Structure 1
Amino acid sequence: MSTHSPTALISTAGHCRVACGFCFRADRAHGFLDTATYTRTLSRLKEMGVEGVCLTGGEPTHHPQLRQLVRLARQFGMSVSMVTSARAAAEVGTLSTVAHLLANVTVSADSQGAMLLGRTTRTAATGIDTLRAISTQTKILHVTCWSLSDSECRDLADLVSEAGVEVQFSPVVLDERALRRDGKSVQDCLVQQHLDADVLGRCFNLSERYREYLGELRDLQSPTTGGERWLCRSATAYVSADGYVRRCPYGQASVSVHAPRAEIRQFLTAPAQDRVTPDCAAICRPSSVSDERSASCAAQT
């Protein structure tokens, strides 16, 4: 019997210097994932039929043994990808040393409105610069969107078209604390997500699955529907930097990679008990994230 999750998202660190105001990460801690825990994690995941891992953070390029993490996964016969916010010369340099070993690299960026909301400086242009500097065959720019303008979308479409990279989008999802802090309501958030999708649709061919996801997100957040929750459908398991496996980053149930094999197998193959929340709706979907979030420039079709 194999796991319901053919891939796994692995946190390489429990902290992150970027500290986005809208970060999806559910766990916070100090320190890096140690190689002994990581090796045991790979062994257990391989036994469960996991075929690929994605290294995330914190920021994976800050891990002092990043190259070893990548090589270990490949030695287990797994494909390796990475999600990074690398912009600084040292970060991009570290990424470049392992880029040729990676199946794909996703560089995170934020729209202008999202940068203001999350207090970040991850522009799409600097994200493209990072992707241009590495040798990975598949390069993806992932843009978190909030309060988009037509001119910003047109500039973004020109950027990704010229660079020849894939582009993915995610709307900002604000939790109750963030809503209170920024003086916004759930309805404000829903309206903005709808407006941003309309703007994106004028410059990009958004996938049907992405539009369906926005509908699901609306239903989860809407006070008029009661926020109906469905059971987790994540196709990607999550491993925290301290070695705990969950069905997704926001899953309440977990099992340590140091637990007996039978216990880990039972956890990963048993029906999910966690229910989806707006925070993790982007992850807890049945298909692959790259298929669901992807878009192409309208001018290219």
Structure 2
Amino acid sequence: MSTHVSTALISTAGHCKVACGFCFRADRAHGFLDTATYARTLSRLKEVGVEGVCLSGGEPTHHPQLRQLVRLAHQFGMPVSMVTSARTVAEVTVLSRVAHLLANVTVSADSQGAMLLGRTTRTAASGVDTLRGVSTETKILHVTCWDLSDKECQDVAALVSAAGVEVQFSPVVLDERALHRDGTSVQDYLAQQQLDADILGRHFNLSDRYRAYLDELRELHFPAVQGERWSCRSATAYVTADGDIRRCPYSQASVSAHAPRAAIRCFLTAPAQDRVTPDCAAICRPSAAPDGRDASCAA
């Protein structure tokens, strides 16, 4: 059975200076999503029942026509959310100018262990500072977790409580190749994920969905039948910065936004052919959050 595509995650920029080692993005490109292509894409997505879009990147605040992208979605009757790593004055200024037009803003951050693993500098504190500077009604800090401590969780809880923002968590997701490069066994990797979940559970209301997601990751690494993986169940389509539409960022199949509308409709309504992998498990599930990330915990 095919999962109905109801939202779309749109890459507005093909490049990203953060370049974290565990980024979920499967594509890289130069330049920005063309507004004419974007408008055509919105029209085709609307025709198949897509109800809302999330602007992502690269870094969406780098798009020179970001405000127009948001307004075009509104013209199609679609609410717009955004996932951003905005930290610089210039990025936060751009974000603040469109924030009142957004349904929600999610600012990405990394735990201390995740920053070390992914070679990033996206602290939770700087992410909260960004959220304080925007006027969106719903503000979300999304923390990618690895090697957590009780002290760090206490600090994050205090930060989000003082700022009045929501918090979501997701574990670092590494595939077998990344684990091999780091010299980490799959067993140790999964054990660390569980340890982090136990620590989170002491400080936040850890949802059943989060623990179920960890079970899914374990199953993907150790399938009951070798090679057995379930079909893509994502309700979120993906649009690349080049204007290609996929059922998932990691899908090998795509259709151009400039293809005939019948071809696009057929592509998005036909049963997905891809199989879920650890890379895309967080988004290739019908219960995933509209922004393409796992809405796992709340303070």
Q: TM-score range by the shorter chain?
A: over 0.9
1:220-276: CA deviations, max 9, x gaps?
A: 123776363100000110000111111110112111111111110111111111100
Matched positions, count: 296
Q: What is the CA distance between 1:76 and its match in structure 2?
A: 1.0
Report whether the alignment pairs 1:195 with 2:223: no
Q: After TM superposition, list the pairs within 5 Å mapping 1:98-113 onto structure 2.
A: 98-113=98-113
CA contact (8 A) 2:3 2:235 kept: no
Aligned to 2:96, what secondary structure does the other structure show? helix
Q: After TM superposition, list the pairs within 5 Å mapping 1:1-301 onto structure 2.
A: 4-222=4-222, 226=226, 228-289=228-289, 292-297=294-299
Aligned to 1:109, what secondary structure does the other structure show? strand
CA contact (8 A) 1:142 1:168 kept: yes
Q: What is the CA distance between 1:178 and its match in structure 2?
A: 2.0
My pick for the range that moved more, 176-185 or 186-195, is 176-185
Q: What is the CA distance between 1:186 and its match in structure 2?
A: 1.4
Unaligned 5+ residue runs, structure 1?
Answer: none
1:118-137: CA deviations, max 9, x gaps?
A: 00000000000000100000
Cα distance in structure 1, aligned partners of 2:48 and 2:225: 38
CA contact (8 A) 2:145 2:170 kept: yes
CA contact (8 A) 1:217 1:278 kept: yes
Cα distance in structure 1, aligned partners of 2:259 and 2:206: 42
Task: Give the TM-score taking structure 2 as reference length.
Answer: 0.96
1:51-102: CA deviations, max 9, x gaps?
A: 1000000000011111111111111111000000000000000000000000
CA contact (8 A) 2:70 2:101 kept: yes
Q: What is the CA distance between 1:156 and its match in structure 2?
A: 0.8
* Amino acid paired to 1:236: T
Q: What is the CA distance between 1:195 and its match in structure 2?
A: 0.5
Q: What is the CA distance between 1:3 and its match in structure 2?
A: 7.9
CA contact (8 A) 1:125 1:159 kept: yes
Q: Percent identity?
A: 81
Cα distance in structure 2, aligned partners of 1:20 and 1:137: 28
* Amino acid paired to 1:294: S
Aligned to 2:92, what secondary structure does the other structure show? helix
Cα distance in structure 2, aligned partners of 1:226 and 1:214: 19
Cα distance in structure 1, aligned partners of 2:142 and 2:153: 14
CA contact (8 A) 1:3 1:50 kept: no
CA RMSD in angstroms, aligned pairs only: 1.6
Task: Give the TM-score taking structure 1 as reference length.
Answer: 0.95
* Amino acid paired to 2:7: T
1:154-206: CA deviations, max 9, x gaps?
A: 11111111111111111011123322322212112111101100000000011
Q: What is the CA distance between 1:153 and its match in structure 2?
A: 0.7
Aligned to 2:17, what secondary structure does the other structure show? coil
* Amino acid paired to 1:296: A
1:202-227: CA deviations, max 9, x gaps?
A: 00011111111110011112377636
Aligned to 1:289, what secondary structure does the other structure show? coil
Cα distance in structure 1, aligned partners of 2:158 and 2:164: 10
Cα distance in structure 1, aligned partners of 2:76 and 2:160: 34
CA contact (8 A) 1:219 1:228 kept: no
My pick for the range that moved more, 287-296 or 60-69, is 287-296
CA contact (8 A) 1:248 1:284 kept: yes
Q: What is the CA distance between 1:104 and its match in structure 2?
A: 0.2
Higher RCO (CA-CA < 8 Å; seq separation 6+): 2
* Amino acid paired to 1:27: D
Cα distance in structure 2, aligned partners of 1:42 and 1:170: 29
Cα distance in structure 2, aligned partners of 1:210 and 1:3: 21
